Amino acid sequence: MDSNSQKIKIAMAQIAPIWFQREKTLEKVITYVEKAAAQGCHLVTFGEALVPGYPFWIEKTNGALFNNERQKTIQAEYSHQAVQIERGDLSDLCEVAKQKEIAVYLGIIERPTDRSGHSLYCSMVYIDQQGIIQSVHRKLMPTYEERLSWSTGDGHGLVTHSIPPFTVGGLNCWENWMPLARASLYAQGEDLHVAIWPGNLKNTFDLTSVMAKEGRSYVMSVCGLMRPEDILSTMPELQDLAKQCPEEFMANGGSCIANPDGSWLVEPQVESEGLFVAEIDHAFVRRERQNFDPAGHYSRPDVLSLSVDRSRQTTATFKD
């Protein structure tokens, strides 16, 4: 076997959104997909909630105020700018993925019609190299103040995909701390794990290498960026937000890739927007699985097992 056939190129696009602007952010995403394809990448990944952006305003504007006009107005516009896959919002991106023969993992705020068309979900979308959306994973449990904006998801997107010779899966942000969520992907043969984050070194530095050692997999943590100057919204309710952010970065990146032994392939990239490309070798996975395979020879299904419900949650089932 040609040893080169065991290697693929992967890319992390660490970028800031055009905040609260779905179409312009998707245009930026497409630009980076094309850049990754031009470098021969098989997969390009983007941060959590990138389109149309992470809800940074909640912490800064007393988002827990109940029935507050400012909060309702901001959330209404956020909902308006969210991605509705059924409407075709990702069609141009899918077409580019098809043309360039590159797979994409993208973090979006989804406004699905199967859950009323108004509630929002933090979703991780996988588009294959034929430009087909193969999975939409809605975050199982939004973290802390995120619950004031996002709804709880389900297990429907806990699936893996083939990018030969690798099997790739992924989770949103703090889901990566959930051992059973990780185990559900290990059980499906995952050996390339994609963890997406809104962006911060404090989130990725420790956990990325831990997941790599645990799964004996490559782990790529891909982050977004957010700076006060990225707050470009013309909404009056957000115009003073930049003044409430004295720090230079609201999200400083931290994208990185760990090898299956936990060592760094790409060290965390901080305070820098750009495309970070690396080559990964499936033989490295097989070497590390020689003495530990968490879902294979080192598992004990007769003692420990996991049950996963992958049905898509819905309010009503109709029989016509």
Q: What is the distance between the alpha carbons of residues 131 and 170, in angstroms, rounded to a whole number?
A: 18
Give the SS3 label for residue 299: coil
Catalytic residues: 48, 139, 173
Separation of CA 96 from chain center:
19
Residue the block writes with tokens 């009323």: 116
Separation of CA 319 from chain center:
35
> What are residue 275's phi and psi, to 5 degrees?
-110, 125
Whether residue 54 contacts residue 226, with contact meaning beta carbons closer than 8 Å, is answered with: yes
Task: Give the Cβ contact number of residue 307 at 10 Å.
Answer: 6
Separation of CA 13 from chain center:
11
Instruction: Pull the structure tokens for residue 271.
Output: 């305070």
